[in-house]
Amino acid sequence: MHRALCPVETLYVGQRSRAFLSCTLRGRVDVEALSAAFDAVTEENPTLRSCIVPDGAGYALRLLGEDERPRLLTRTGDADEAYAAELNRTLPLGGPLTRAVLVSSPDGEGHLFVLLVDHAVTDGHSSIALHNALWDRYRALAGGERTAPAESAVRAEPRWPEPVSRLLPPADEADTAKYLDGRLEEVRRNPVELMPYDVPRPSAGGPDGDGAGDGHIEVCRLTMDKEHTDLLRRTARQSGVSVHSLIAAAMLTAARRRLDGDGPRTLGCLSPVDLRSRLSPPLPATDMVPAVTTHLQTLQVSGSSDPLDLARTVHNRLGDFIARGDQFHEMRITPEIPRNPALQLATVVVTNMGVVPGPRLPDGLRADDVRLAPAREQYFPQAGRSPLLACVVSFEGRLSIEFPHYTACFSPSFAAAFRDDVLDGLLAFASTAAPEHAPANPT
């Protein structure tokens, strides 16, 4: 049983990127119930029990046999070491498109749960929805409930989710071609500067240093407590911008500080744009497909640029882009990216998951932390420069930004200093929040 990948989904095959969700847990975990819950959600989602196979000039999803399906993996070990190991463990092409791992402390009270999903069949919203659905199923099973399989799990034929590129509103091919011509002219006139790697290109047989040699993926993390997250939201609201635009401005400012001189430089900001809520009818987050496009804008940023002015520019341009419906054109031209990579080339990439709920767990088990980060197989240290990526999400109202980087490109010390610079910028924004007005007639 096969389902062909559309041209947009096919792009992710070459990227070999994956969503990396994790949560740290305290309390006892019923491993049998968790294993059954993972089996149930993979049974309900055929893309999760599939592999990618060649299909003519493209690729297709093929259902795995019963003995090939992904199953929950369990072991005992250290949570930090397990996080680093799983972050760097790939989802090989031709193998299962998801992996679930539970790593427990020797006393059985501390755990790290990791869920990886290939980006060819997911995006941030659907991977978080899957993670929460798995724990919903676990909670029911651990509580002794018998849960009926979803309709999709009892069909004779799997219900493959429809590619988002086939759900877009109708468009004239001439309009799409005109939009593409305009985008190509824009990137030709405004080439953006990328961030030079701070790790020297490794020579053959050279010694490994701080990030030299073959390299590996690390994630540098920025977190804000609920109080400062609320202050940042208040600043955004009072300034008429989004939190996303404040983060983008802090990223652009931090990036500019790492370029020579003080005059204006052309920097690019790439913002992923969710399509699920903008389709008619809306696409549920539970549909396991990548349903995201991007908005690229270029800005002249100098050493003296006002970060709030940058935020207003980012916010207004992104809002105009969506109001025009250009997100649909952007999705239609996505297959052109391999021939014209500048269409998505930016100095900074700032995702925007918004505020999302964490997993609901049974009594006796709590989640101390939930994280979402992207990872991929190739980082191309030979390129000498690349965008800087920030994966932004607020679990349970607390802002978290993950900065994944490859140590043969950006050293851990570079990533930590950049993270600290962005945090300083966000705290400066938060400090400008005016007190909320008290009600005129308090009761």
The β-bridge partners of 202 are none
Tell me the per-residue pLDDT of 186-209, one tens digit each, with 9 for 90 and over.
999 999 999 999 998 765 444 444
* Residues in the chain, total: 443
Angle of the 412-431 helix axis to the 307-323 helix axis, nearest 10: 90
pTM strictly above 0.85: yes
CB-based contacts of 276, cutoff 8 Å, min separation 6: 125, 282, 283, 284, 285, 287, 291
Decide: helix, strand or coil at residue 375: strand
The rounded Cα 250 to chain-centroid distance in angstroms is 19
Confidence of residue 214 (pLDDT cuts 50, 70, 90): confident
Pinpoint the alpha helices (H) of 218-371: 226-239, 243-256, 307-323, 326-332
Q: Break the chain into its structural domains and give their ranges.
A: 2-164, 166-431
Confidence of residue 107 (pLDDT cuts 50, 70, 90): very high
How does the average pLDDT of the chain come out, rounded?
Answer: 92
What are the structure tokens assigned to 405, written together? 């980087």
The β-bridge partners of 349 are 270, 389
Query: Which CATH number does the domain 2-164 belong to among 3.30.559.10, 3.30.70.20, 3.40.50.720, 1.10.1330.10?
Result: 3.30.559.10
Pinpoint the alpha helices (H) of 106-193: 124-142, 173-189
The β-bridge partners of 393 are 400
Find out whether 202 and 210 touch, Cβ atoms under 8 Å: no
Tell me the per-residue pLDDT of 338-397, one tens digit each, with 9 for 90 and over.
999 999 999 999 998 888 889 999 999 999 999 999 999 989 999 999 999 999 999 988
CATH architecture of 166-431: 2-Layer Sandwich (3.30)
- Asked whether the domain spanning 166-431 has the same topology as the one spanning 2-164, the reply is yes
